[in-house]
Structure 1
Amino acid sequence: MAAPLKLISHKLCPYVQRAVIALSEKGVPFERIDIDLAEKPEWFLNISPLGKVPVLVVASDDGEVALFESNVICEYIEDSQQGTRLHPQDALTRAQHRAWMEFGSAILADLWGLETTTDPATFANKRAAIAAKFARVEGALGLGPFFAGESFSLVDAVFAPIFRYFDVFDEIVDLSVFDETPKVRRWRVELARRPSVRSAVGSDYAKLLRDFLLRHDAHLLKLAA
């Protein structure tokens, strides 16, 4: 029997990883379909108004429904599926978590600039912006091990793919982004151990990311020792 959920994916996309982690944390079966975003299939463009991944295709009585935008998909997974709660019950706390999920997206926007720029000044500005944002995250973290303490949440699902970039970047050059954020460093280590986080990408992730940097002639690679 086919899985009732199909996740349209790309192997490097951090937004896809959010959905994969949420589904895994809840123990929900799904089919993952990776596509080439450089040559998007027509069937994908027909169901994705923005032409972006992830898209979650949900089987319903009226046929298949395609959901787009990663935070919307994660919220649907939380609202519709059984398993561990990934959002707080309290409305105010839940809203705070949603705000920090958006903050994670802002960090990803800076990361895109960091990894694709060929300009040293732009690179330096993006590195500084990312470090400043993580300084704000440091102030929001408690005792851990996760964002909300003992409970893994959707905020953790958002930040785990961000930290994964640095697992590859650290092999190239020390960007010193986390030097002044000990809580963030501990959080990063804890998330890297999480089975749902580890399984959100394939074993070829690091190679694919390095290939991506090469294709963009990234300034980051020029900093390698």
Structure 2
Amino acid sequence: MRFCPYAHRVHLVLDAKKIPYHAIYINLRQKPEWFPLVSSSTKVPALELVKEPGKPVLIESLIICDYLDERFPEVPLYPKDLLKKAQEKILIERFEQFISDFYNLVLHKNPEQLVDIDHYAGLVAYEEELKQRGTKFFGGDNPGMLDYMMWPWCERFAAMKFSFDEKFELSRERFPTLIKWRDLMLQDRAVKCFYLDGQTHAKYMDSRRSGNADYNMLYNEAKRVKLG
């Protein structure tokens, strides 16, 4: 599914490491008959390792990304120091709470009812962490695993101005370090490979909020352009 942020994570790692791959996007409401044969859990993302004996399949974005980092170590995304690596994993795990808060906002039928809730409170620790590190990215001079595991939701911040009032946007005054980080991430090659603009994300979010998620939106639009 092209709009799945968890699958987005895997694409970022594959592209950052320049690992050749073939992507198949499926409609989550109408899953193809062959999909349970590939992924018995029918969850996305699912990565089939076609060059491994038996063509095993991995699921869960963090498991897949950690496997790729160890299997293809030429471009390491975690720190070499074991303690620092463990601390990065803690920050990745803690980010799940922000993800939950983010979805509570973007999928709410009437976001005006949530105007007094601080949906970005979960980002304060990351603002302070990056400021304390004093580096361009959490990974240092280049994006690392933490950067890429956070990015899919941070890319979707740009959708807020199209879907909601500006008061729901990420505040430059409150998060200057993360705003600068976001601008730098947009220049990263792996990010560019899978990037969608805010208006496109907003259109998909609007369709999902209406209860009729348009999983084929990009395909249908491309088809209309081709036929037109």
| TM-score clears 0.5 | yes
Question: Following the alignment from structure 1 to structure 2, what is the Cα–Cα distance between the partners of residues 189 and 211?
Answer: 23
Structure-2 residue corresponding to 1:210: 203
1:138 aligned residue: 127
| Equivalent in 172, 187, 196 of residue 181 of structure 2 | 187
TM-score computed with the length of structure 2 as normaliser = 0.81
Query: What letter is aligned with 2:32?
Result: P
Preserved CA contact (<8 Å) 2:13 2:65: yes
Aligned residue among 110, 115, 123 for 2:106: 115
Could you tell me which residue of structure 1 aligns to residue 150 of structure 2?
A: 159
**Which of 56, 71, 82 in structure 2 is aligned with 1:91?**
82
2:48 alignment partner, SS class: strand
User: Which residue is 2:4 aligned to?
Assistant: 13
| 2:98–2:120 contact (8 Å) kept in structure 1 | no
List alignment gaps of at least 5 residues for structure 1: 1-9, 219-225
Pairwise CA RMSD of aligned residues?
Answer: 2.3
- Once the two structures are superposed, what CA deviation does each residue of 1:59-95 show, in whole Å capped at 9, x if it has no partner? 2453210100000000010010142110111111001
Separation in 2 of the partners of 1:63 and 1:188?
40
Quote how far apart the aligned CAs of 1:56 are. Answer: 0.7
Spell out, residue by residue over 1:99-124, the C-alpha distance to the aligned partner (whole angstroms, 9 max, x if none): 11122332222222211111447633
Alignment partners' CA distance in 1, 2:127 and 2:43 = 31
Q: CA deviation at 1:48?
A: 2.8
Paired AA for residue 193 in structure 1: Q
CA distance in 2, matches of 1:122, 1:46: 43
1:148 to 122, 139, 143: 139
Moved more, 160-169 or 100-109: 100-109
Provide the rounded CA distance (Å) in 2 between the counterparts of 1:61 and 1:11. 25
C-alpha change, 1:195 and 1:74, in structure 2 (3 Å) is same
Using the TM superposition, give the Cα deviation of residue 144 of structure 1 relative to its aligned residue in structure 2, in angstroms.
2.3
CA separation of 1:49 and 1:150: change in aligned 2, threshold 3 A: same
* C-alpha distance in 2 between matches for 1:176 and 1:212: 15
Deviation at 1:184, TM superposition (A): 1.1
Would you say 1:75 and 2:69 are equivalent positions?
no
TM-score (norm 1): 0.82
Higher mean alpha-carbon deviation, 63-72 vs 159-168, is at 159-168
Q: How many residues align?
A: 206
Any idea what the Cα deviations from partners look like across 1:167-194, whole Å, max 9, x if unmatched? 1213443224333121111111111111
Q: Letter of the aligned partner of 1:123 in structure 2?
A: L
Contact 1:20 1:200 in 2 (8 A): yes
Kept in 1: contact 2:9–2:152 (CA 8 A):
yes
| 2:170 corresponds to | 177
Q: Secondary structure at the match of 2:15?
A: helix
More strand by share: 1
Query: Which stretches in structure 2 are left out of the alignment for 5+ residues?
Result: 212-228
